[in-house]
Structures are given as structure tokens and as C-alpha cells.
């Protein structure tokens, strides 16, 4: 595809369930980022990959959050035992190289009930 | 920790008015970007400023990077309803390359 694709678009989970959010970056883009965004706020950094290497995971809020990019393209953000405070939009972004523009997907809106 | 403070957080103005949004930090960034985000979509890049003191213009939008590369401003002239959205500044960390966002400025332009 032409842009960054995220699925599902919307996800409703009951508290305690595990969820998996998928990101398909633009083909050939080396770097991939995950952000968490609350309504009306700026995106908060979660984690960052360069190819398959996770270079920075300092923004992951707890050990319930796990991200992977095993083949250096598609990435999955997994949240275990979801809590209500996990409700947010999860944005994925990719870029070709270090100084290239960041391209965002439209996000996955997660609601934990 | 590198932080970016945006002000104001909310701005509601009439069509035709001018406005300025500020983005400030105590940290130096190798570059700073401005994004615009509409509901249900991801942020879209407007501009990247790299050099201290740099000024870039995009139609009615003027972006400035501070001389010390710690702050930036976005000025919109004669705002239009189509300018409504969430404006975000983002600084690129010199050390790690990751992009850190400000809290955002929600702009509403009334016709």
C-alpha cells in the first residue's frame, strides 16, 4: 500500500483480555515507532525499531506491553491483561531513514471496558 | 528527559484572525517538526526546521526555529475554518533519533 496501515481500526476489549495491534509500515522503511495518544493530547512515545532491532522501549508503560518486529517489516504491539487506563489511540509511524519524514497510520482506537 | 511544552493548549478564533502557537523546551533538538492532525487520522507532517534561526513559509503558515534550537513557533495569518485541527510540534533527539511530541494545540476557526 501507499501508506502506513494499522489494524484493527477499532478494538473493544474487556478488562483482563489480551490484545494485539498490527502495523504494516511503508515498504522499505527502516524505522518504525509506536505511540500512545489520549484524546486531544500529543502522542506519547512507546517504542522504536530500526529494522528488527528494538532500539528503545523506554516509553512502554509496564511489562504488560510488548512490541516486536521479527522480520523488520510488520510490527505487533501486544498488551496483556488490559486495564481501563490502556484505553487510547495507538499510532504507528515509519520512516525511510533517520532524517526522513515520519509517516503515520490512522491508529487503532482501543477501548477497555 | 526531553520535554516539549506547547502553548496555548486550546485556541478558538474567528475566521480572518491571526494566531501564533509556541513550542518550548529546555533541551536542544537536532531538528523540530510541526504536524497537523484531524480527528480519526494520524498526524501529517507540515514542515521540518533544522537550522537555528530558520524561517519557513507554507502559504499562510510561517514556522520559525529558535536560534538555540530549543523552541519554535507557528504563525497562521488570516485563519480559515479549514485550518481547524490539532497542531503538534515534535523534536528529534540528537542522541537517540526518536521523535518527542508536545501536548498539542487544538485550534478551532469559526466561520
Which three-class secondary structure string do you get for B10-63? EEEEECCCCEEEEEECCCCCCEEEEEEECCCCCCEEEEEECCCCCEEEECCEEE
Nearest CA of chain B to the CA of A82: how many Å? 22
Nearest to B101 among A4, A42, A103 (CB): A42
Could you tell me which residues come within 8 angstroms of residue B18 by beta carbon, excluding any fewer than 6 positions away?
A: B75, B76, B77, B78, B79
Q: Would you state the pLDDT for residue B98?
A: 81
- A61-100 residues touching B, CB cutoff 8 A: 91, 93, 98-99
Nearest CA of chain B to the CA of A98: how many Å? 7
Extract the residue ranges of chain A whose pLDDT is less than 70.
1
pLDDT band at residue B2 under the 50/70/90 scheme:
low
Q: How many helices (H) and strands (E) does chain B have?
A: 0, 11
Q: Would you state the pLDDT for residue B64?
A: 96
pLDDT for residue B94 is more than 80: no
Angle at B20 between CA B110 and CA B10, to 5 degrees: 55
Contact (CB<8Å) B88/A43? yes
Q: Would you state the pLDDT for residue B75?
A: 98
Contact (CB<8Å) B86/A104? no
| Percentage of the residues of chain B whose pLDDT score is greater than 90 | 79
Decide the pairing of beta strands A103-104 and A88-95. Answer: antiparallel
Q: Would you state the pLDDT for residue A88?
A: 97
Q: Would you state the pLDDT for residue B97?
A: 73
Nearest to B98 among A42, A56, A105 (CB): A56
What value does the mean pLDDT take over residues B46-72?
A: 94
Nearest to B104 among A33, A42, A98 (CB): A42
Q: Would you state the pLDDT for residue B23?
A: 96
Q: Would you state the pLDDT for residue A2?
A: 79
Q: Which of A31, A63, A58, A36 is nearest to A47 (CA)?
A: A58
Contact (CB<8Å) A40/B98? no
State the cell numbers at A77: 504491539
Nearest CA of chain A to the CA of B63: how many Å? 17
**B4-29 confidence digits (pLDDT tens):** 999 999 999 999 999 999 999 988 88
Mean model confidence pLDDT for chain B = 93
Amino acid at each position: 500500500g501507499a501508506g502506513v496501515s494499522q489494524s484493527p481500526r477499532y478494538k473493544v476489549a474487556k478488562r483482563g483480555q489480551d490484545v494485539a495491534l498490527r502495523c504494516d509500515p511503508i515498504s522499505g522503511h527502516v524505522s518504525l515507532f509506536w505511540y500512545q495518544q489520549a484524546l486531544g493530547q500529543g502522542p506519547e512515545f512507546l517504542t522504536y525499531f530500526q529494522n528488527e532491532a528494538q532500539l528503545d522501549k523506554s516509553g512502554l508503560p509496564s511489562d504488560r506491553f510488548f512490541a516486536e518486529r521479527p522480520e523488520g517489516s510488520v510490527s505487533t504491539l501486544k498488551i496483556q491483561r488490559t486495564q481501563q487506563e490502556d484505553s487510547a489511540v495507538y499510532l504507528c509511524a515509519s520512516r525511510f531513514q533517520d532524517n526522513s519524514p515520519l509517516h503515520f497510520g490512522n491508529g487503532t482506537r482501543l477501548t477497555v471496558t | 528527559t526531553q520535554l516539549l511544552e506547547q502553548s496555548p493548549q486550546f485556541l478558538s478564533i474567528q475566521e480572518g484572525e491571526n494566531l501564533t502557537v509556541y513550542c518550548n523546551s529546555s533541551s536542544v533538538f537536532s531538528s523540530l517538526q510541526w504536524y497537523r492532525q484531524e480527528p480519526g487520522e494520524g498526524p501529517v507532517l507540515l514542515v521540518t526546521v533544522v537550522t537555528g534561526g530558520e524561517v519557513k513559509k507554507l502559504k499562510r503558515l510561517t514556522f520559525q526555529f529558535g536560534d538555540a534550537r530549543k523552541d519554535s513557533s507557528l504563525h497562521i495569518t488570516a485563519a480559515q475554518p479549514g485550518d481547524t485541527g490539532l497542531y503538534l510540534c515534535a523534536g528529534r533527539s540528537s542522541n537517540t533519533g526518536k521523535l518527542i511530541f508536545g501536548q498539542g494545540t487544538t485550534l478551532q476557526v469559526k466561520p
